[in-house]
Chain A
Amino acid sequence: MDELLTGSVIAVNGPIVKAVGLKGIGMFDIAEVGPDRLIGEVIRLAGEITIIQVYEDNTGLKPGDEVISYGRPLSVLLGPGLIANIYDGIQRPLVGISEVCGSYIRKGIKLSPLDTAKRWDFKPLVSSGTEVKEGSIVGEVQESPLVLHRVLVPPGVSGRLTRIADAGAYTIEETIFVVDTASGAFKGKLAVYWPVRKPRPNKNRKKPFVPLITGQRVIDTFFPIARGGTAAIPGGFGTGKTMTQHALAKWCNADIIVYIGCGERGNEMTDVLTDFPKLIDERNGRPLIERTVMIANTSNMPVPAREVSIYTGVTIAEYYRDMGYSVAVMADSTSRWAEALRELSSRLGDMPAEEGFPPYLGTRLAEFYERAGLVETLSGADGDITIVGAVSPPGGDFSEPVTQHTSRFVRCFWALDKTLADARHYPSISWIDSYTEYLIDIEDWWKNLDAEWLATRNEVMNILLEDHRLEQVVKLVGSDALPPSEQYILFCAEMIKNAFLQQNSFDPQDKFCSPEKQIKLLKSLLTLYKKGLERVHAGVSVKDIAALTVVSEIVRLKSEIPNQDLAKIDEYVLRLEQGLSALKPPS
């Protein structure tokens, strides 16, 4: 192991390099290419020829240039210091890179992903002599005010702990503990390497049952996702994929956020970087950046590194999951990852399947989403990873391969609707085309808040579905041709859209809506529907109901009543009931 292999370049086609001579090199090993020692990964072995994809700009590379390898797989360095950090697709620290070479990313820069000089306050939790197994927690480090970093015995290591460091400050390179294993002494440090393409092991997978609360009404109430679940957000450009992912990264109640900007805009990552240190998590009064890890391989950065970026992100997520945390991964956009895959496979001359994508697109997507889940970790605690992937279908057409394959592997589908986005109805998540398979799994959690939650949700959903059906009729004959009770459904649906579904991410009150507030708002609308419908049947006109002052006030409750002040909503409901009862049919 770690023996130096050398070879030489024979051909260069974009980021794909063919080399000969590297005897004994393995698949997915790192290769350093050319005089700049550009980082590459072995992606195929064909007889004498090693095919390497290079993760940096390789212009100027020539046949005859040297290639070296230590026979180690492409890996992520996991340890304290990941939080609040930002990396490129192959985990090079962007802050460090800017210190070395300014505003632009130059090639051939090698920096440790974690600060090797920083000393972390380590607290041992077991004493020497204890039997430890893979996943055992031997100590902890306060990584950020929000994250207590647990130091784990790595997978595959077990035996008697022969040494553990005293409480004190250590760097990630110092030996912190030693385990006497069957194959010799294992020296544990605060940081470990893990191959980026290999899922970290767990004891067993469990069925998710707790909702990930996002504070976004259309998601939590209508299309909820469980912690440990998977969701896709497909939508054409400008429909709100990124804003939705930003909103989730800001307000969802996971312990750790891994935000992967995969082939998207540079300024969107800058937005996260400028916003998150300032935004305060209401649950603990700390800046959101203190629970966030960022991967940025933007559209103008090398394409092959885009392909790895989602694995880098999800491996980091697994590492925190293994400490017993609830981790949410945002991948924006998985389509750019798929396109990177397509570009590389086409340079390799693979036979394409649909729209030029390689035949293994589906398998790769499945493998990625499979890394989500609620698991019993090796240490016996529960930990989970929720994956939310944006999908960017060409022309906004959901029948294309990436959307189609993704929909097979996710259990929650938040379909963004162009018409809603054009009308600036955000989030433009369609209540007709979206679905979730987690409703039943998480019902018990909501029942604790309100026994009738699911029934209320379904009743309101039915109003929306009925509205959708009636809209088709209205398009042909106009709404005046409908009987009053149906006109009333249209009116109530409009109210639900404006007072509940539509939610403004820039409004200080409305950006996050607590589950309790969601229930109250929903019930006030259901009261409007049920009580109002009785009055309509009694001959009261829809117009008169719509003209009630309290009705126009209900539309504003979402942004006028803070999450802490919900009793106020009851007052409006009372006034609504009184107002409705007072209405008389025209004589």
Chain B
Amino acid sequence: MPAEIEYTNLSGISGPLIFVDGINGVGYGDIVEIRDASGVLRIGQTLEVDEQRAVVQVFEGTSGLSVQGTRVTFVGRALEIPVDREMLGRVFDGLGRPIDGAPQVITDKMMNVNGLPINPWSREYPRDFIQTGISAIDGMNTLIRGQKLPIFSGSGMPHNRIAAQIARQAKILSAGEEFTVIFAAMGVKFDVARFFIDSLEESGVLTHSAIFLSLADSPSIERLVTPRSALTLAEYLAFEENMHVLVILTDMTNYCEALRELSSSRGEIPSRKGYPGYLYSDLASVYERAGRLKGGKGSITQVPILTMPSDDISHPVPDLTGYITEGQIVLERDLFNKGIYPPIAGLPSLSRLMKDGIGEGRTRKDHGQVAAQLFASYAKVKRIRALAAIVGEEELSGLDKIYLKFGTAFEEVYLSQAYEENRSIEQTLDIGWRMLSLLPRDELYRIAREDIQRYYMPQKEEDK
């Protein structure tokens, strides 16, 4: 490899990009070291190269850089971070550099933050049920080891609490196996990070967690690397050290905004809402880094969190995420306003991996049908409520009124639970049957007769 050449002076700066002219032999995607006049180091990466010019994105942002006096070195390799077990219990910035005051992790194992695509042939189809202790998830939107299941939230809603509750309660079941949490924060406030760190500490997993922070006051471009650094460590721990890794990424909307910013400073043709046309592929390169590998013991389960601008699920960020992830847990403003925790929406939430992870020998035989029936009956509640809003509740038929009762009970008893409450899957299913037993037997057309025989337990008329 030719000696690293230092270039002085830039030919231009635009947003997070710098342009360097008169270069020679610079590779696409190479890492760039940038030193400003006072010698402070920043890291960048080439986005485009030709025979004269390189376009470089600067992860720490360009503020304070000037065209004159900036020195640039092309390092000739891709962005790498160290990976090691020693990184558990530590706090890093988005580029994997320690920010907890403790020394640099010493290891010779370096990995490219972009990772490599997993060969679909080498994947193991995820089917192991994770009990989160939350009925709305376990009963109706089951989380599976190796799944990527995001939380679609809105501002002010308790997505962080739900993620923290999952992290705490999921841990309990994997006693005996190595469980770790990797938490990556992109563009969120310090209190959010603090909340997670505290709750990881309370549940005793902090010493077994790694934290990557690129907070609201860090340059936005660094957010593009943060989830990749976190996932690079996750891949090492899951696939080389056989751990079960839960990766929480928050907030993916901030990540996407950073990408939009970068794209617009490159003058690219925008697609929907100004986001670049490649947002889907870019998000996939993050989300697809979850799963299990054939022959491996470990797993990466991803719970990305994103806030939907104006609670709009068709906004490009939730929309493209939903197209890639294996379902979504959607939080609903109405339930939240009613004071229900967790306000997990009954209908738009979905776990795509649920079907193969539940049932006889995994959870319980009736699980799938109970879930399908709850969804179908709750959908009917929603229709009847819409009707009641117009014609008035008194005008509803007797059956419709029973459905309304079911709907209220479903929200207040089944969905609703305390932040500390950890329900077993049996408890969740039994509560589900208690709800369904409020309905007439013939309404349970999604459930096999023998299960109705076994679990259906209508209360006497006077108790209703």
Q: Which positions in A face B, CB cutoff 8 Å? A: 10-14, 18, 57-64, 86, 94-95, 97-98, 102-106, 236-238, 261, 263, 265-267, 269-271, 273-274, 296, 298-303, 336, 339, 342-343, 346, 352, 355-356, 392, 394-397, 422-425, 474-480, 498, 504, 506, 552, 555-556
Contacts and interface: CB of A to CB of B under 8 A. Distances in A.
B225 to A, nearest CB: 14
Contacts of A270: 120-121, 123-125
B49 A298 contact: no
Looking at A261, A300, A339, the one whose CB has the most chain B CB atoms below 10 A away is A300
B284 A355 contact: no
A62 B49 contact: yes
Interface stretch (B165-173, B350-358, B408-416): B350-358
B257 interface: no
A476 B269 contact: no
Contacts of B108: none
B121 A98 contact: yes
A355 B272 contact: yes
Nearest to B390: A476
A103 B77 CA distance: 22
Contacts of B379: 422-424
B434 to A, nearest CB: 20
Given A422-B379, A475-B386, A552-B445, A103 B27 contact: no
A439 B341 CA distance: 50
Nearest to A477: B391
A10 B51 CA distance: 6
A346 B268 contact: yes
A94 B270 CA distance: 34
A58 B215 CA distance: 31
B109 interface: no
Interface stretch (B36-44, B184-192, B368-376): B368-376
B285 to A, nearest CB: 5
Contact of B28 (A59, A298, A299): A59
A556 B118 CA distance: 42
B387 A475 contact: yes
20 contacts: A11-B49, A12-B27, A12-B48, A59-B78, A60-B30, A63-B49, A86-B121, A104-B118, A105-B118, A237-B322, A267-B353, A269-B120, A296-B120, A299-B285, A300-B284, A300-B285, A342-B271, A343-B281, A394-B316, A556-B449
Interface string B81-122: 000000000000000000000000000000000111111111
Contacts of A64: 24-25, 51
Interface in B276-315: 277-278, 280-281, 284-285, 288-289, 291, 293-294, 296, 314-315
B324 interface: yes
B120 A356 contact: no
A55 to B, nearest CB: 12
Contacts of B319: 236-237, 394-396
Interface string B369-396: 0001001100110000011001100011
A386 B66 CA distance: 60
A478 B278 contact: no
Contacts of B25: 62-64
B126 to A, nearest CB: 7
B50 interface: yes
Given A394-B316, A424-B376, A480-B397, A301 B117 contact: yes
A58 B284 CA distance: 18
A394 to B, nearest CB: 6
A236 to B, nearest CB: 8
A113 to B, nearest CB: 14
B239 interface: yes
Contacts of A98: 119, 121-122
B116 A105 contact: yes
Contacts of B121: 86, 94-95, 97-98, 270, 273, 296
A336 B117 CA distance: 17
Contacts of A105: 116-119
A396 B314 contact: yes
A271 B50 contact: no
Of the candidates A238, A346, A396, A480, the one having the most CB atoms from chain B within 10 angstroms of its own CB is: A238
Contact of A238 (B77, B314, B322): B322
Contacts of B350: 238
Among A61, A266, A298, A355, max chain B CB count under 10 A is at A266
Contact of B288 (A62, A103, A299): A299
A346 B396 contact: no
B28 A62 contact: yes
A556 B288 contact: no
B295 to A, nearest CB: 8
A422 B140 CA distance: 12
A478 B123 contact: no
B50 A11 contact: yes
Top 4 nearest A-B pairs (CB, nearest first) are: A59-B29, A423-B379, A299-B284, A395-B314
Given A94-B120, A478-B396, A298 B445 contact: no
B323 interface: yes
A98 B121 CA distance: 7
Given A343-B278, A394-B314, 17 more contacts: A59-B114, A60-B77, A102-B122, A103-B239, A103-B294, A263-B280, A266-B288, A267-B326, A298-B117, A298-B284, A301-B117, A302-B117, A342-B277, A392-B323, A422-B347, A423-B379, A475-B390
